C-alpha cells in the first residue's frame, strides 16, 4: 500500500478555503479547485516508488490485476478528485465512447495539435463521472421539461426571451430543446449580452428559483451560457448524496465541496460560462436533447458496512465506509486496484494513518484493512 502525495490544481473557479479547511491547513489566498488522486499524466500522484503512472507502467498486471489490465488496458481507468467549487464551472457535456473515438480520430487526421485551444478531443475515451457531496453542493444537471422552462423564462418578463418561450411550448421536446439551445449559442453576442443583463436584473429581483441563475450571471456577466443554464435542472445535494453524469447530459457544478470520480479522460464540449473554445456544431452533435430527472443517488448499504454508489459503468466504482470508533477492521482486499481517501476523522488503512484529505493506493491483490473513527471513500473498478 502506497501513501499518495497529490497535486492541487489552482483553477480560477476553485474555492480559496474548502480544501484547506478539510485538510486542516491555512488557506493560501489562492483558489484550490481540485486535488487529483490517480495516474493521470497531467498530474500523477506520487508514491515512495515514484509517480503512480510510472509505477503502473512498469508492471501493469501486478499493479492493476490481471482482469483489470485485460479489460481496460495498462493504465488506471479512473481519476479520483476532491473538487471545491467557489464559482460556477463551465456548462459542458461529455461524449460517449464511440463519439470520443470518432472525434479523436478525426482531429488526429486533420492534424489539430493536441494542445490547440480549439481541440475538442484530447483522447479516445469517454468521461462518465460521479460527484458525491461532502458539503451542501449546488449544480445543474440535465434538461428541465420544456414547458417548465417556458414558465420560468416567461415570468422574467424579458421581451427578447419570448421567441424561446414560444419554441419551448410549440415544438416537441427534442426539437424544442435543440432549437432553443442552438438559438442561444448562435445569437448575436451584443444582443445576447443585453438580454442576459435584463435577465440578471429580473432574476435578482424575483429570487427564489432564480437565485442560482442570478449567481451564475454575477460570475459570467453577458455570457449566453446564463440563458443556456436556465434550460437545466438545478440540484442541491446534501452531504452523502451524489449525481452520476453520463454521456451527452449537460451539466455544471456551481458551489460546494465533493469527492469526484471519472473515467480517465479530458474530453469536454463546452456550452458556455467559459472564455474557452465553444464548438457549437460539435456540441449539438453530442448533446442528448431530452428532459431528464437529475437522479440524486444515495448510497446503498451492504452487510459489510460498505455504502456503494451504484452507477452503470465499469471504469470506476465508488463507495464509502463511515467507521464508528471501536469497530473491527474491514477487509478490503481485492483483485482490482484501489484508492482510499479519508474525508473525516482518523482512519487506518493497513499500516498507514490517514486524516482528512490523505489517500493511499492499494495494488491489486494487496491486503487492505480499514479501521478507525472517520469516513473513508473507496475507489476501484468493476473487472
Helix (H, G, I), strand (E, B) or coil at 328: coil
CA distance 138 to 174: 26
Q: In Å, what is the CA distance from 354 to each residue of 203, 330, 340?
A: 44, 15, 9
CA distance 342 to 348: 9
Of the candidates 3, 270, 320, 378, the residue annotated as catalytic is: 270
- φ/ψ bin of 343: left (φ > 0), alpha (ψ from -120 to 50), beta (otherwise): alpha
Give Cα 311 distance to the centre of its chain: 14
Of 382, 374, 383, 381, which Cα lies nearest the Cα of 330?
A: 374
Question: Are the beta carbons of 48 and 3 closer than 8 angstroms?
Answer: yes
Q: Is 3 a catalytic residue?
A: no
Question: Are the beta carbons of 254 and 215 closer than 8 angstroms?
Answer: yes
CA distance 51 to 337: 16
Which residues have C-beta within 8 Å of that of residue 297, sequence separation ≥ 6?
130, 241, 242, 243, 244, 309, 310, 311
CA distance 131 to 365: 27
* Residue 88, φ and ψ in degrees, nearest 5: -60, 140
Residues designated as active site: 270
Amino acid at each position: 500500500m502506497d501513501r499518495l502525495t497529490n497535486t492541487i490544481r489552482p483553477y480560477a473557479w476553485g474555492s480559496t478555503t474548502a480544501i484547506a479547511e478539510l485538510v486542516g491547513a491555512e488557506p493560501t489566498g489562492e483558489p484550490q479547485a481540485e486535488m487529483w488522486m490517480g495516474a493521470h499524466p497531467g498530474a500523477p500522484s506520487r508514491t515512495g516508488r515514484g509517480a503512480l503512472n510510472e509505477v503502473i507502467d512498469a508492471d501493469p498486471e501486478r499493479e492493476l490485476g490481471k482482469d483489470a489490465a485485460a479489460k481496460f488496458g495498462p493504465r488506471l481507468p479512473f481519476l479520483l478528485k476532491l473538487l471545491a467549487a467557489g464559482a460556477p464551472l463551465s456548462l459542458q457535456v461529455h461524449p460517449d465512447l464511440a463519439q470520443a473515438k470518432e472525434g479523436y480520430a478525426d482531429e488526429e487526421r486533420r492534424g489539430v495539435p493536441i494542445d490547440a485551444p480549439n481541440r475538442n478531443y484530447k483522447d479516445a475515451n469517454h468521461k462518465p463521472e460521479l460527484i458525491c457531496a461532502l458539503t451542501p453542493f449546488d449544480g445543474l444537471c440535465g434538461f428541465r421539461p420544456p414547458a417548465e422552462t417556458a414558465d420560468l423564462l416567461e415570468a422574467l418578463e424579458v421581451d427578447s426571451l419570448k421567441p424561446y418561450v414560444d419554441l419551448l411550448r410549440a415544438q416537441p421536446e427534442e426539437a424544442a430543446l435543440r432549437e432553443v439551445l442552438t438559438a442561444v449559442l448562435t445569437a448575436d453576442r451584443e444582443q445576447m449580452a443585453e438580454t442576459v443583463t435584463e435577465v440578471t436584473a429580473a432574476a435578482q429581483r424575483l429570487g427564489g428559483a432564480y437565485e442560482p441563475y442570478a449567481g451564475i450571471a454575477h460570475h459570467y456577466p453577458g455570457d449566453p451560457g446564463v440563458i443556456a443554464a436556465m434550460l437545466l435542472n438545478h440540484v442541491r445535494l446534501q452531504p452523502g448524496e451524489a449525481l452520476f453524469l453520463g454521456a451527452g447530459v449537460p451539466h455544471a457544478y456551481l458551489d460546494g465541496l465533493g469527492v469526484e470520480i471519472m473515467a480517465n479522460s479530458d474530453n469536454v464540449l463546452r456550452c458556455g460560462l467559459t472564455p474557452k473554445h465553444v464548438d457549437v456544431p460539435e456540441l449539438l452533435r453530442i448533446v442528448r436533447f431530452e428532459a431528464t430527472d437529475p437522479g440524486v443517488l444515495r448510497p446503498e448499504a451492504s452487510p459489510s458496512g460498505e455504502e456503494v454508489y451504484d452507477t452503470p459503468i465499469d471504469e470506476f466504482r465508488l463507495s464509502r465506509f463511515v467507521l464508528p470508533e471501536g469497530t473491527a477492521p474491514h477487509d478490503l482486499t481485492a483483485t482490482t486496484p484501489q484508492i482510499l481517501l479519508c474525508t473525516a476523522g482518523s482512519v487506518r488503512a493497513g499500516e498507514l494513518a490517514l486524516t482528512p484529505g490523505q489517500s493511499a493506493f492499494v495494488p491489486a491483490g494487496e491486503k487492505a484493512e480499514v479501521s478507525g473513527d472517520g469516513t473513508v471513500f473507496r475507489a476501484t473498478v468493476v473487472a
